Amino acid sequence: MTEVEPVGAELGAPAQLPPSSAAGRGMFGVQGTGDTSGFGGLRRRREVELDSPRPFGGYFDEVVDALAAAYPEFDAAVTKIVVDRDELTLYITKEHIRSVARTMRDDPALRFELLANLSGVDYIGSINRFHVVYNLTSMTYRRQVRLETSASLEDPHVPSVTAVYPGADWQERETYDMFGVIFDGHPALTRILMPDDWDGFPQRKDYPLGGIPVQYKGATIPPPDERRAYR
């Protein structure tokens, strides 16, 4: 998982990262200038995510075992299981995401009746760049689990889960509007935040940041990656 690393033991010193980790970039990919938001100086450590070892702890083993028993194509659908910060994430191939979600909702041993949240993430530079995250809640058993699937820039299609969780309707529209992920089977996949004729997807990491026109002596506020650094 991604976490924030201090810049160094002293102000201005480079972060000390393990050889197996890769340093991330600043906010919106800003490099060199040190954007005035303050995020440009952060260093992030990215660990290679592997399957977490058993036992997972708590009710996580029960959830995984129940899904494996209820879903015949479990091995083909689940590519990775990660427990981090006391949270369980099941990585699902996009071809199986709708049927896995239905099983998570309907199986008596699972009963994840509520899709609490659906959102997108842009891991720019990755093969499967766009991730869709589903936070599920079982009100029957008072449990929480996260499903995550992914799609590439060339094929940004993911099956819609609105037939399973009707509340996903507007959340999938928002993810489409901001990231350009196309949810196949959605009843009305249109923009929800931006105008219908808006060009581009504002939360993609390569979307232009833009500046702000200021009505004062012809001045403008440039985008963060073009501002001078305050040190």
CATH number of the domain residue 139 falls in: 3.30.460.80
For residues 147 and 167, give the distance between their C-alpha atoms in angstroms, rounded to a whole number.
16
pLDDT recorded at residue 211: 74
The verdict on residue 110 lying in a domain is yes
5 and 90 belong to one structural domain:
no
pLDDT recorded at residue 181: 98
pLDDT recorded at residue 3: 45
- Tell which residue, 154, 139, 148, 136, has the closest CA to residue 175: 148
The verdict on residue 194 lying in a domain is no
44 and 64 belong to one structural domain:
no
Is the pLDDT assigned to residue 17 strictly greater than 60? no
7 and 72 belong to one structural domain:
no
33 and 103 belong to one structural domain:
no
The DSSP result for 162-177, as a single string, is TTT-TTHHHHHHHHHH
The verdict on residue 165 lying in a domain is yes
78 and 161 belong to one structural domain:
yes
21 and 85 belong to one structural domain:
no
CB neighbour burial string for 181-195, b if at least 16 within 10 angstroms, e if fewer: bbbeebeebeebeee
174 and 64 belong to one structural domain:
yes
The verdict on residue 223 lying in a domain is no
pLDDT recorded at residue 37: 53
pLDDT recorded at residue 25: 52
Phi and psi (nearest 5°) for 149? -130, 170
Average pLDDT of the chain is 83
For residues 49 and 129, give the distance between their C-alpha atoms in angstroms, rounded to a whole number.
16
More confident residue, 174 or 226: 174
The verdict on residue 166 lying in a domain is yes
162 and 107 belong to one structural domain:
yes
83 and 139 belong to one structural domain:
yes
Phi and psi (nearest 5°) for 121? -140, 140
The verdict on residue 126 lying in a domain is yes
70 and 180 belong to one structural domain:
yes
Of 164, 184, 204, which residue is a domain's last? 184
165 and 82 belong to one structural domain:
yes
For residues 119 and 131, give the distance between their C-alpha atoms in angstroms, rounded to a whole number.
8
Do 78 and 91 meet the contact criterion of CB atoms below 8 Å apart?
Answer: yes
Structural domain range at position 158: 60-184
19 and 65 belong to one structural domain:
no
- What pTM was computed for the model? 0.77
The verdict on residue 84 lying in a domain is yes
Do 191 and 169 meet the contact criterion of CB atoms below 8 Å apart?
Answer: no
- Structural domains of the chain, count: 2
More confident residue, 117 or 212: 117
The verdict on residue 8 lying in a domain is yes
20-29, 119-128, 165-174, 216-225: range with lowest mean pLDDT: 20-29
Upper half-sphere CA count for residue 20 (Cβ side, 13 Å): 3
